[in-house]
Amino acid sequence: MSDQPTSKEDHPTGEGFIPHLAVDAVIFGFHDKQLKVLLMQYSKTGLYALPGGFIRQNENLNDAAKRVASERTGLTDIFLEQFHVFGDLARHDPTPFASFMAANGTEPDADHWLLQRFISVGYFALVDFTKVTPTPDKIFDSCGWYHLNALPPLIQDHTAIVNKALDSLRIMLDDKLIGFNLLPEDFTMGDLQSLYETILGKSLLRPAFQRKMLGLGILERVAKKYSGGAHKAPYLYRFVYK
């Protein structure tokens, strides 16, 4: 879609985009019991922000979220899910955009469309951060993974957006696990428990965890193949609807 304007420099009037409405993506990365989040740094400002952008007049909202996340970060094929809309007046803070534009050679008018109030639809995704290489677009100097417990200050209400995304992810985990496609096709109960523990940020007791997971009806046990000493290997499971 590089033939259409997508970044701030490209659409000084906002034409072709829905005004006052944005999308922001909280992309969680997990691996080896670590949970991180993907942040961008606006060019020449040092300001950290979630990857975000705007919705075209002729574009589905969910497609806009995918496009924006892909353009900003270089990530494709991630499963983005809506979790909350941030629409308080108090979140309106034009200073980061004004700083960005000033640092990059533009002095915006006070009524510039980017400095107006935005309501933002929050999306989250969960990926294995060792399997993706985020790449910033031209309006950002960097794009990288930050530990959730050591985030830098973020612009506007983006820290609150991250926290709300984490709450939502934890509540929706049982329902979203299949869609997020985080595990290999066949996995052990230990793999699954480790994933849950990383996201929930706490240890779980194996028997209760296993009972709950089997009770959800989303797992099937894979028939063991005979391979000599393999009878001591743990059972493998896969998602029923995968």
Nearer to a copy of itself, 171 or 240 (CB): 171
Nearest approach, Cβ of residue 43 and a copy of itself (Å): 29
DSSP H/E element including 61? helix 61-73
DSSP H/E element including 121? strand 119-128
Question: What per-residue string of b and e applies to 144-160 under the rule 16 or more CB within 10 Å gives b?
Answer: ebbebeebeebbbbbee
88 binds a copy of itself (CB under 8 A): yes
175 binds a copy of itself (CB under 8 A): yes
Residues 40-59 that bind a copy of itself (CB under 8 A): 55, 57-59
Nearer to a copy of itself, 10 or 167 (CB): 167
163 binds a copy of itself (CB under 8 A): no
Query: What is the distance between the alpha carbons of residues 242 and 42, in angstroms, rounded to a whole number?
Result: 38
Q: Are residues 121 and 46 in contact, defined by beta-carbon separation less than 8 angstroms?
A: no
Distance from CA of residue 151 to its chain's centroid?
15
85 binds a copy of itself (CB under 8 A): yes
31 binds a copy of itself (CB under 8 A): no
Nearer to a copy of itself, 55 or 132 (CB): 55
Nearer to a copy of itself, 19 or 234 (CB): 19
- Candidate residues 171, 222, 233, 240; the one interacting with a copy of itself per rule CB under 8 A: 171
